[in-house]
């Protein structure tokens, strides 16, 4: 079973990184829109008229893993 040890460890890191990246870092409501920023760096903005835009794309899971995901 030890032949898959590295793969299992990588998958565990990947799942932790995905969970951390998807958590909200902050919410900001102003001037008719709601901006949501995630730990990954992904930022979205929803306007009061229902339109939705992506302000910034987040980092890839690979780059988050390389930086090391903060433990909770």
pLDDT in tens, 14-38: 999 999 999 999 999 999 999 999 9
- Within a domain: 7: yes
Within a domain: residue 6?
Answer: yes
- The verdict on residue 29 lying in a domain is yes
The reply to whether 37 falls in a domain is yes
Asked if residue 11 is part of any domain, the answer here is yes
Give residue 3's pLDDT: 86
Give the H/E segment covering residue 63.
Answer: helix 61-67
Give the global pTM: 0.82
Name the domain count of the chain.
1
CB 46 within 8 A of CB 52: yes
Coil vs helix vs strand at 67:
helix
On whether residue 72 sits in a domain, the answer given is no
Which SS3 state, helix, strand or coil, does residue 26 take?
strand
Examine residue 24 and state whether it is found in any structural domain, yes or no: yes
Host domain of residue 49: 2-67
């Amino acid at each position: 079973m030890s032949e898959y040890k590295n793969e299992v460890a990588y998958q565990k890191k990947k799942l932790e990184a995905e969970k951390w990246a998807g958590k909200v870092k902050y919410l900001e409501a102003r001037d008719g829109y709601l901006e949501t920023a995630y730990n990954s760096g992904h930022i979205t903005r929803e306007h009061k008229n229902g339109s939705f835009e992506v302000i910034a794309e987040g980092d890839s899971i690979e780059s988050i893993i390389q930086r090391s995901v903060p433990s909770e």
